[in-house]
Amino acid sequence: MKKSEIRFSIALDDQKVPEAISWTATDAGPDIHFAKAINIALWDRDERGTMKIDLWTKEMPVDEMKRFYVDTMGAMAESIITATNDSVMATKMRNLCRELMDHIEEEESKQPR
């Protein structure tokens, strides 16, 4: 059986706020990759519930964070099709993503340039 590893490294400041997030993966080559935020959800088979880790660096602007979450939800809509073939649920999730993007774009249009 082939095994693959993903490793995250989080550099924290004195107040334990993430300053840097890096990751490596055996299937992503030898390079170290950097991120401003991570969102990991795991289904705990014993507890039958979701365990989550949400981290972001001080450098992550609010507008990028909002887009990150909408992108994550969009990716989840695609995953739900693959995992369950539930097109109704996926369509509802995509529609919500469109509404949220409209909201983000409206907010951005009101900000001074």
What tens digit of pLDDT does each residue of 42-86 get? 999 999 999 999 999 999 999 999 999 999 999 999 999 999 999
Could you give the CA distance from residue 26 to residue 6 in angstroms, rounded to a whole number? 7
Could you give the CA distance from residue 64 to residue 15 in angstroms, rounded to a whole number? 23
The pTM of the full predicted model, rounded to 2 decimals, is 0.83
**Domain positions in the chain:** 1-58, 61-112
Write the CB contacts of 64 (distance below 8 Å, at least 6 apart in sequence): 36, 37
Asked if residue 113 has pLDDT above 90, the reply is: no
| Tokens describing residue 62 | 């609010």
Q: What was the pLDDT predicted at 28? A: 87
Q: What was the pLDDT predicted at 29? A: 85
Burial 7-24 (b: 16+ CB within 10 A, else e): eeeeeeeeeeebeebeee
Could you give the CA distance from residue 74 to residue 99 in angstroms, rounded to a whole number? 12
* pLDDT tens-digit readout, 4-40: 999 999 999 999 999 999 999 998 888 999 999 999 9
